[in-house]
Structure formats: C-alpha cells, structure tokens
Amino acid sequence: MHRGPARDLGIEIIEGRLAADSGMTLDDIQRRFDVSRTVAREVLRELETLHLVVARRRVGIVVQQRAAWNFLHPTLIDWRLRSEDRPRQLHDLTQLRHVVEPAAAAAAADLADVETRAMLPPLAARMRTLGEAGQLEEFMELDITMHRAILASSGNELFTAMADLVEVVLVARTELSLMPQQPKPEALAAHEAVADAIWRGDAGAARDAMVAITTEVLDAFGA
C-alpha cells in the first residue's frame, strides 16, 4: 500500500518539485495520501533506503541533495525511467552496460558451466522467433534470462549484482514503448552471436558480439 505514495513522492524529488533541503512530516504524508501512520512510516523507510530523504530529530523529513541518492538501487532506476529524468538515466545506464556487459560475456565464454553454454543458443534462436513475430513481452523475458545468465557466469560478483539493474532497464524499455515493434535484425543476430561464442568458449567473439548489442542500445537511446 505504501509503494504508490513512495513512488509519487520519489518522482517529485527526482524532478525537483520537492527541492533538496525542503521538508515534510509523517503527518503531511498521512494527510496527502489518506494513509495510516504505519503506511506513512513505510513510505519514509523506502525513501530513506534510496537516500532521497533523511529523517532528522526535531527537524522532520528532509529531502537529500542529488549527490546523496542511491543511484544503483533498482527502484530508483525504475522511478527515474518513469520521470522527466528518463533521458539522463537511460544515458547513464546504457553507458554502464556498454562497459560491463562485454567484459562479462568474455568472462562467461571462459567460465560458464556446460548447462549455461548449452542453454544460450536455443534461447537466442527462440528470441529471434519471438522478435520477428513482434511478441515483445515474451522476447523481453528471454532477453532478461540471457543477460542474467551471462552476468551470473562471469565469475565476478559485482557483474552478477548488476543483473537487477539490467532487468529494470529492459522491462522499462518495453513498458515505456522504447522498443521497436520488431527488434532490429542486427540485434537478433548479435544475440545469436554472443550465445554461440559462449557455447564455443570464444571470449573475443563473445565480447565483440556483446559490444554490438550494447552499441545498438546506445544508438537507440542517443547515448
């Protein structure tokens, strides 16, 4: 019940309608959203988790400066994608993926277990079928599965921890109609190429194919 009010307040902070160093109270949250004290506290906890606000004794709830925000938290990423801050968020996230995912794909080509290697080529083939049919929801689910598997097989725990971030941006790209009705043929081919390279254990080819995937996203978002 707290998520709607938390998101609304969060987006207002992101967009600057609730300015840094401005204040509010639990009573303000209760009155505005017609919620109980318990729900208002849950709203506060979620905003504090994202470092959007801080509760100070004898002061109340204070909006944090942008530099304090928890930018890597998937919830904050999702809210930024649903706000006027979307272009900047897409730019930053896509640049991060462009650096990390090719390295993860190369590592996965060396380190992935046999089960993961065997799973990727048929998954990529199914993605082509769904993409060419314009079935974007099902395509997105498999796309998430592929990227999660590659990050998890990299042997790098920080890369693995990025999986939720990648999922958020893939889901948002579909839900916010930022995906073409049919994925580009070169994007489908690049997914097949990275799957095949990891299956064969070719780290260089896996890296190059993932660069092609992230470059397509960079171009799509103008990043």
pLDDT score at 199:
98
pLDDT band of 179, cuts 50, 70, 90: confident
Instruction: Report, as an integer, the average pLDDT of 167-183.
Output: 81
pLDDT score at 62:
97
Closest CA to 23 of 56, 52, 62: 62
Please give the mean pLDDT across all residues of the chain: 93
Q: Is the pLDDT of residue 45 over 80?
A: yes
- CA–CA distance, 161 with 148 (Å, rounded to integer): 10
3-68 fold: Arc Repressor Mutant, subunit A (1.10.10)
pLDDT digit string, tens, across residues 95-143: 899 999 999 999 999 999 999 999 999 999 999 999 999 999 999 999 9
- The three-class DSSP label of residue 201 is coil
* 2 in Cβ contact with 44 (< 8 Å): no
Task: Give span(s): CATH 1.20.120.530, the chain.
Answer: 74-221
pLDDT score at 37:
96
CATH of domain 74-221: 1.20.120.530
pLDDT score at 16:
97
Task: Give span(s): CATH 1.10.10.10, the chain.
Answer: 3-68
pLDDT score at 222:
62
Closest CA to 79 of 41, 50, 43: 50
Q: Say if strands 53-56 and 60-63 run parallel, antiparallel, or are unpaired.
A: antiparallel
Instruction: Report, as an integer, the average pLDDT of 150-163.
Output: 96
pTM of the predicted model as reported, rounded to 2 decimal places: 0.83
pLDDT band of 27, cuts 50, 70, 90: very high
pLDDT band of 169, cuts 50, 70, 90: confident
